[in-house]
Amino acid sequence: MVQEALLSDFEVVHVWRRDEVGEAAMARISQLSTPSPVLAVVARPKPAGLVVEKGLYLGLDGVRDPGNMGTILRIADWFGVRTVFLSDDCVDLYNPKVIQSSMGSIFRVHAVTADLADLSRRFREAGMRVYGTFLDGKNLYQEALVPEGLVLMGNEAAGIRPEVAAEVADRLLIPSFGQSARETGAGTGAESLNVAVATAITLSEFRRR
């Protein structure tokens, strides 16, 4: 993580090494059960402005679990999504669990807080598609996806809020292949997917086309 920070555009204020400050001091500083041999203080970047250009973007509406947020940043990084837009009620981007679970991707993926309903309108005005995942959407694997636009993922429990959903033209569904268990009474089957898992599946399908 420290190496990722040093290679990024973030301002690294100071780096401490366990060999320099001692085991006890590093244990007091670190929030990990097993302190890292190195620790850095990194300045938060200034908030980035809203720029809508051609490309694939991700929008997160009310994602509040820090583990999910960090994992989604890592997924976005893997699939080449350089900017992730966050609603103002998402978990704090610099929550320690977010940073840890991002595995360094937080230093490469630009995260911008935005009004997602207004942002969706901007994308449409720029001639780009706005996609969202819904339980009543169309089969992700059968839709003609365009690898440019905004892909919205919703809150872990409530999904995409109504005012944002109203701006989505392309409603997508990740189909369940466990339906037969429910139909035969052999089991209830999974009711939903974790939002980070759903994000990975969705972005993978966009990049596959």
Would you kindly state where each structural domain of the chain is located, as residue ranges? Answer: 2-42, 56-208
> Rounded to the nearest 5°, which phi and psi values hold at 84?
-120, 125
Per-residue pLDDT of the chain (209 residues; tens, 9 = 90+): 999 999 999 999 999 999 999 989 988 888 778 888 999 999 998 887 777 788 999 999 999 999 999 999 999 999 999 999 999 999 999 999 999 999 999 999 999 999 999 999 999 999 999 999 999 999 999 999 998 999 999 998 999 999 999 999 999 999 998 765 445 555 556 778 899 999 999 999 999 98
The CATH architecture to which 56-208 belongs is 3-Layer(aba) Sandwich (3.40)
- Measure the CA–CA gap between 179 and 198, rounded to whole angstroms: 17
- Measure the CA–CA gap between 119 and 146, rounded to whole angstroms: 18
Helix (DSSP H) and strand (DSSP E) numbers for the chain: 9, 8
Indicate yes or no: pTM above 0.85. Answer: yes
Largest CA distance in the chain: 64
Cα separation values, 120 from 55, 116, 167, Å: 14, 6, 6
